[in-house]
Structure 1
Amino acid sequence: MKQFVGKIDEECIDTAVEGARPADASPAQCCQWPGPSGGFAINGKFVSQRITGVQRVGYELATAFQRLFSENAEPPLLIPVNSRTDVILRKTKRVGRWFKGSLWEQLALPFAVGDRTLLSLCNMGPLFGRRQLVMMHDVAIYDLPGNYSWKYRLWYRFAFSILKRTAVHIVTVSEFSKMRIMERLGVDASRVSVIWNGVDHFEKIIPETAILSRLSLRNDGYVLAVGNLSLGKNLPRILAAMERLSDRPDWKFVVVGGRDVRVFSSQAKPNDNLSKNIIATGFISDGELKALYENAACFLFPSLYEGFGLPPLEAMSCGCPVIVSREASLPEVCGNAAMYCDAHSLDDIVDKVRQMMDDAALRETWRERGRAHARNFRWDRSARQLLDVLERELAGGVERLNETESAPSRV
């Protein structure tokens, strides 16, 4: 990824909260508003991880948020010493010499933040951070416990029980996730705000079309799906549907993502256990994924659980017709721009794919709807909404924050 060089976003004044900034502030001064005390800093733990899922959201939102500020006022991204060198933001600072991962986040990061307000955008943050906004993407740790080891479940449940009290505010990515957070963590609705993800990062990606010839794929001749270890991705039904549809030798089926050992044999190539028309790619680059989106006849995403559901929007932005389930956040995010299927019915999944694959005019209709819908999801809009939330929650200044810190509970 290349370095982003931004400028002051004069539109950010549109989301100002009355009283949060001086009434006569210019747009430039408006975008330099630092909040109480020392301003903001961004938790950059995600820079030391593979940039997928919540890490992608963290990167794109942090980048867009920095662009709201002038060069001298932009909040720094605080990162571990073992961070990736190919992920660069406009203002980045390495902190903590000895720690990595969760130890870095819990022990080194709080000291580096100082009196600034910390933005933790990837589910987790310092448990006892003095001033912190946390973005919780979902509560799958409660809703899908079978996804995770007992150690992982124990850690996140403990951490969430602390963060729901110590965080100044919680942000999430959909109304669905907000309702689940309220129910599972017992948090009042006033303490949770919704900020949708953007998808315009895909506009900057250059498609790597060599993957099409490598996998022997032709334009408009294959079904694309994304699946990983998560039970919520419904990968067994995706593969079962593809097996049933393999009676059409002119169709191919591509599954992108990590290999689930319960589905793919660890001793053999995936294609050894599946019909020859089903291709499992494993992890691929963003450029390769974009090329697959742009040339697929349709994208199949019958997920059982999504806090947001970014892949369908990525597909839409690339002009790929989308089939999704009616579960969790997907109707909220996809609106009327996707064909819906029953995630629990193999017959219905198969039927919807056949409808899409057999009708070129239908595919074109969904392509146009998807492109128009995806244009509504922009990271700069998400960043302005984040700043709006921060202003609303922090406009009371240090006195209000001190009252928050002294309260025994925020639930």
Structure 2
Amino acid sequence: MIIGIDGRELERGKVTGIGRYLLNFLKFATTFKKDYQFILYGNQFTRLDYKSPNLTLKIILERITITWDQVLLPAHLKNDKVDVFLSPYIKAPFFSPCPYITTIHDLLFLSTPDYTGWKYKLYNETFKIFGRVISKRAKAIITDSEYSKKDIIKIFGVDEEKIHAIPLGISTPLSSPPLKRGAWGGRDISSIERVKNIYNIKGRYILYVGNFKPHKNIKRLIEAFAEATLHLLPPLQKGGEGGFPDFKLVLGGKRDKFVPLLEKLAESLAMRDKVIFTDFIKDEDLPYLYSGAEVFIYPSLYEGFGLPVLEAMACGTPVICSNTTSLPEVVGDSGILINPEDVKNISSAIITLLKADKLREDLRKKGLERAKEFTVEKYSLKILSLIESIM
């Protein structure tokens, strides 16, 4: 069988979530199915460091994207006698010479108010038209969660039977150091401290990892942390035992246009020295930051999956996350679910978890077991099985 794949997310000097997802699949699939041929179609910016005897990279010059998608790609699919084409996002030739599977990770931009203005509205309406055509012509659609599946049915009007919810997974050998709590974390406390120093983190901390767009709900998180601090500090201020005077809220993610407003909010709440914005975190540092955190918190209003929650559980870090969209599917009963629109509820969960050593330990153990259900091997096998089923 010859499987064609759109590989343009594997770009030089750029790491994307879809790119990681695709590369993990390729590494597993080319090893597991040595009798299959995989052709990765890229453009002049595509870079593939991974090599396998049954994997070929074909570069097609891309000047105009729609021409690449709708003219050049189908011509190559036909010429290469591709049996099935796999797209890791919602793009595919309208008139493909072979059956194709498209991937819709989520429909965030059609479902949240983050993207406003006439340009986005025009784009969204155009995207809906293209999305419906691509979805209805696809042999199958892959999505990351049952929640996203419902979104696709509602927005694109696609038959339920065509959509396959295949949860994301993580690669356990992501980090080479010995394990601390779980699949990713470093056992060596000195290594955790070394990485903390890189990002100017002192003492104990609560961690968030992601971007700072409004749907990530970081404004309420900062407000909830400020409120929790008022409840956590007094015992020490009065000379008693307990309390958490050194706790920080670490917000891990590349700085964007939303960060200055969040910094001003932290300053207005007298929390500027307790809220740390790390900027971009290297992949190799993430496991140590997850493992070093007392709690991982993810109060997002919308997620198609919520990979950072899974990563945190894999490191044995207790999780607090939203009770909305796809996140309950990921965390199950292995974390504390909160109403992301209720600051007091978020604050209460932080206080409860920081004060309850046994609860944190129980959630660590549950999280580690839960994370084992989401692996690259599992989602790759399901994708391969789906490919075979449409032939």
Shorter-chain TM-score tier: 0.7 to 0.9
Structure-2 separation of matches of 1:239 and 1:302:
11
Question: Does the aligned pair in 2 maintain the 1:77–1:89 contact within 8 Å?
Answer: no
The Cα offsets for residues 116-153 of structure 1, whole Å up to 9 and x where unpaired, read as 12111133333443331001111223212543633542
Say whether 1:251 aligns with 2:251.
Answer: no
Say whether 1:234 aligns with 2:230.
Answer: no
1:161 maps to which of 103, 108, 132:
132
Residue in structure 1 matched with residue 242 of structure 2 by the alignment? none
Question: Does the aligned pair in 2 maintain the 1:95–1:109 contact within 8 Å?
Answer: no
Q: How does 1:35-50 map to 2 (within 5 A)?
A: 39-48=2-11, 50=14
Residue in structure 2 matched with residue 194 of structure 1 by the alignment? 165
Question: Does the aligned pair in 2 maintain the 1:144–1:231 contact within 8 Å?
Answer: no
The Cα offsets for residues 273-309 of structure 1, whole Å up to 9 and x where unpaired, read as 7521100112211112211101000100111111111
Return the letter of the residue paired with 1:125.
A
The Cα offsets for residues 35-93 of structure 1, whole Å up to 9 and x where unpaired, read as xxxx21111011027323333322222332222211x53312222221246x5353241
Percent identical residues: 27
| Residue segments in structure 2 that go unaligned for 5+ positions in a row | 178-185, 234-244
Once the two structures are TM-superposed, the CA of residue 355 in structure 1 deviates from its matched residue by 1.1
Residue in structure 2 matched with residue 124 of structure 1 by the alignment? 91
Residue in structure 2 matched with residue 362 of structure 1 by the alignment? 359
Once the two structures are TM-superposed, the CA of residue 324 in structure 1 deviates from its matched residue by 0.8
Structure-1 separation of matches of 2:174 and 2:256:
30
Q: TM-score, normalised by structure 2?
A: 0.81
Structure 2 CA distance for partners of 1:89 and 1:234, relative to 1, 3 Å: farther
Q: How does 1:59-98 map to 2 (within 5 A)?
A: 59-70=23-34, 73-84=36-47, 87-90=49-52, 91-98=55-62
Residue in structure 2 matched with residue 134 of structure 1 by the alignment? 102
Deviates more, 1:255-264 or 1:284-293: 255-264
Return the letter of the residue paired with 2:158.
V
Say whether 1:214 aligns with 2:198.
Answer: yes
Once the two structures are TM-superposed, the CA of residue 155 in structure 1 deviates from its matched residue by 4.2
Task: Look up the SS of the partner of 2:32 in the other structure.
Answer: coil
Question: Does the aligned pair in 1 maintain the 2:5–2:40 contact within 8 Å?
Answer: yes
Return the letter of the residue paired with 1:240.
E
Return the letter of the residue paired with 1:160.
G
Structure 1 stretches (4+) deviating beyond 6 angstroms? 268-273
Task: Look up the SS of the partner of 1:45 in the other structure.
Answer: coil
The Cα offsets for residues 174-213 of structure 1, whole Å up to 9 and x where unpaired, read as 1111111111111111111111111125644656743312
The Cα offsets for residues 75-113 of structure 1, whole Å up to 9 and x where unpaired, read as 12222221246x535324131134376664444433332
Task: Look up the SS of the partner of 1:250 in the other structure.
Answer: coil
| Residue segments in structure 1 that go unaligned for 5+ positions in a row | 1-33, 395-411
Aligned residues: CA RMSD: 2.7
Return the letter of the residue paired with 1:333.
V
Structure-1 separation of matches of 2:32 and 2:253:
34
Say whether 1:224 aligns with 2:224.
Answer: no
Question: Does the aligned pair in 2 maintain the 1:251–1:277 contact within 8 Å?
Answer: yes
Task: Look up the SS of the partner of 1:286 in the other structure.
Answer: coil
Task: Look up the SS of the partner of 1:190 in the other structure.
Answer: helix
Say whether 1:373 aligns with 2:334.
Answer: no
Question: Does the aligned pair in 2 maintain the 1:60–1:201 contact within 8 Å?
Answer: no
Structure 2 CA distance for partners of 1:98 and 1:122, relative to 1, 3 Å: closer
Once the two structures are TM-superposed, the CA of residue 165 in structure 1 deviates from its matched residue by 2.2
1:327 maps to which of 311, 324, 327:
324
Return the letter of the residue paired with 1:371.
L
Q: TM-score, normalised by structure 1?
A: 0.78
Residue in structure 1 matched with residue 346 of structure 2 by the alignment? 349
Say whether 1:185 aligns with 2:148.
Answer: no
Say whether 1:307 aligns with 2:304.
Answer: yes
Question: Does the aligned pair in 2 maintain the 1:200–1:375 contact within 8 Å?
Answer: no
State the number of aligned residues: 353
Question: Does the aligned pair in 2 maintain the 1:58–1:122 contact within 8 Å?
Answer: no
Structure 2 CA distance for partners of 1:68 and 1:47, relative to 1, 3 Å: same
Residue in structure 2 matched with residue 392 of structure 1 by the alignment? 389
